[in-house]
Amino acid sequence: MIERLLPGAAHLQNIHPLFVHFPIALLSAAVLFYLIAWIAKSDRLAGVAFTTLLAGTVAGGATIATGLYADEGVMVARSVRSALLEQHEILMLTTGGFAIVLSVWAFVQRPFPRRFRALFVILLFVMFGVMIKGADDGGRMVYDYNAGGQACGQPIEFSE
């Protein structure tokens, strides 16, 4: 049945790739919305940023869960696992930690913390940077080493 509904997904090693884009998009948008809300002094946009941050954090939790579940079954060479997968896991768990802390902070002082606001925005950008590096490692595994599907033979050894 899945072959008829989602023919591309039928060839995935696991469901993690179906989740990854949501927290990347939502957390990136939250950073942008908070920055604009700060510059424009807009409480309404801060509310949008807060909601987007919460949605990104929840989506990130689901994505981290599917990634951890898929970890052992990802068919990549040991060299790729060592050079990319382990770093990807650490970076995305760190991103999740930042998202949780920032979400709790924003919830307590909703929708946009007034105390230490500059620090809050700086930490949003740190989270964004960590997330982008982790996403790049994930993308390299998929596109350079076929970690997400069956397009070519496995394993493909790591190369710089």
Per-residue pLDDT tens digits for 4-18: 887 777 777 778 888
Please report, as a single letter, which amino acid is at residue 74. V
Residue 154: band (very low, low, confident or very high) from pLDDT cuts 50, 70, 90: low
- Confidence (pLDDT) at 130: 98
- Confidence (pLDDT) at 75: 77
- Confidence (pLDDT) at 53: 98
Pick the more confident residue, 148 or 112: 112
Res 156 pLDDT > 70:
no
Q: How far is CA 31 from the centre of its chain?
A: 13
**Single pTM value for the model:** 0.88
Per-residue pLDDT tens digits for 96-129: 999 999 999 999 999 999 999 999 999 999 999 9
- Contact, 134 vs 97, CB < 8 A? no
Radius of gyration (Cα) for the chain, nearest Å? 18
Write out the two tokens for 29.
Answer: 């948008």
Residue 151: band (very low, low, confident or very high) from pLDDT cuts 50, 70, 90: low
HEC profile for 42-98? CHHHHHHHHHHHHHHHHHHHHHHHHHHHHHHHCCCCHHHHHHHHHHHHHHHHHHHHH
Provide, for the chain, the percentages of residues in helix, strand and coil under a 3-state DSSP scheme, each rounded to the nearest 5. 75, 0, 25
Per-residue pLDDT tens digits for 16-72: 888 999 999 999 999 999 999 999 999 999 999 999 999 999 999 999 999 999 888
Pick the more confident residue, 81 or 22: 22
- Contact, 156 vs 76, CB < 8 A? yes
- Contact, 13 vs 73, CB < 8 A? yes
